[in-house]
Amino acid sequence: MPSTYSFTADDSHIDRDRVHRWLSEQAYWAKGRSRSVQERAMDASRNYGVIDAVGTQVAYARVVTDGVTFAWLCDVFVADDARGNGIGKMLVEGVIDDLSPLPITRILLATADAHGLYAQYGFAPSEDPHRYMIRQMR
């Protein structure tokens, strides 16, 4: 991984304007998400990023957790021009390292296209896909 990038779990280093643009304009799961919804989601979550050598954020991830038993990794995004440089790996490793001191027993996520990345870090399909249920609210 290039040393010109660094992982951050510091909210003050998260570029909220950039994150909102990425998610609301490019991310298939969040297209059209309003700024106010994004802000509230970020305020209620642990936020992570990868920053380049000049301080520009090039990746983002968010974790929803109670800090004790459960975490949901979501809104993982790497800027197009930063892909292929190990940034996704740096981001996932950083998130796992940050959560490791907590007594969380499982981290869940959903992905349409990054199964290979997450498998490298111990994520696997649910053994019983019928165990988890979802209720759409809107």
Is the residue at 126 inside a domain?
Answer: no
CA atoms within 13 A on the CB side of 14: 21
Is the residue at 78 inside a domain?
Answer: yes
N-terminal to C-terminal alpha carbon distance within the chain: 40
Is the residue at 75 inside a domain?
Answer: yes
pTM for the model stands at 0.92
Residue 38, domain CATH? 3.40.630.30
CA–CA separation, 116 and 93 (whole Å): 14
The domain in which residue 21 lies consists of: 6-119
Place of tokens 């301080």: 55
Is the residue at 131 inside a domain?
Answer: no
Is the residue at 22 inside a domain?
Answer: yes
Question: What does the block give as tokens for 128?
Answer: 């019983």
Q: What is the DSSP letter of 16?
A: H
Tens of pLDDT along the chain (138 residues)? 456 999 999 999 999 999 999 999 999 999 999 999 999 999 999 999 999 999 999 999 999 999 999 999 999 999 999 999 999 999 999 999 999 999 999 999 999 999 999 999 999 988 887 787 777 777
Structurally, the chain folds into a number of domains equal to: 1
Is the residue at 16 inside a domain?
Answer: yes
Is the residue at 47 inside a domain?
Answer: yes
Is the residue at 94 inside a domain?
Answer: yes
Question: What does the block give as tokens for 46?
Answer: 């642990």
